[in-house]
Amino acid sequence: MRKTFIVVLFGAVLVASGAFAALLSQPKVIFRKGSDTWVKIAKGNAKLGPFEHPREIKAEELSRVLLSLRCFQPSVFALGGKTGDEAPLFEASDMAILAEPLAKALGQAGTDEWVDFCLSAFRGPQFFGTFRQTDGVMFWKDGKLQIAFRNISTKTEPGQTLNTYDPTKGYRSLSKLVAGEGITLKAENWVMIDPVAVPVVAPAPEPGAPVAAPPPKSVKDRLLELEQLKKDGLVTEEEYQQKRKAILDEL
């Protein structure tokens, strides 16, 4: 009887410890918005580890790096996905959502963990655009910020979550990433980034946003331009003198 009790008790301890371990291995959610936008810390691919975590990076720096990523989207009627358009993968509005929680997650992840993220955002004109999902995993390895994508701007529906398989083991889309300065490709969906080598890229303006006016020309540039117009015979001597005086009067 005592022997049976010990066996049962030992089994209960094993079950409880297994449940506890499973509880501990659950992803740690850093940010969630609805069912299709999140940032969380999860167990990474053990074959790729250990990862160089935790890793401190400012949200502004991470935003700058992610805005430099570009992707190739095949045309709707392209055969084999060989023709299409190249465009930025992320927009400034995406970084307003993701940059801070991603930076926070990288600063908390352990050596056996990576950052799993997903973003669903509306792209295109108001009545003809579509929801697009971009998701994958992010981690530091070999001194580089590495990102493997499961979906790259894939058409979806609000509230729909696409497959969440390990993107370092394979990829199932015709969309692909594009290499750039400071960015090398390990696969069509997997980039290795040296943040220091990535140039500063001004984010594309949001649709409908007013276009910023170019900076005003200096007095010197305006006088040289006026001089050239006179030489080309496009202004008379009188017009030249009047305009020259008007420019100098602004000093």
Say which residues have a Cβ less than 8 Å from residue 95's Cβ, sequence separation at least 6.
63, 66, 67, 203
CA distance 220 to 200: 29
Is the pLDDT at 224 greater than 90? The verdict is no
Highest mean pLDDT among 15-24, 147-156, 161-170, 218-227: 147-156
- Position 23 confidence tier, pLDDT thresholds 50, 70, 90: very low
H or E element at residue 99? helix 92-106
Tokens of 241: 């003198």
pLDDT for position 162:
72
Using the predicted structure, report yes or no on whether residue 168 has a pLDDT greater than 50: yes
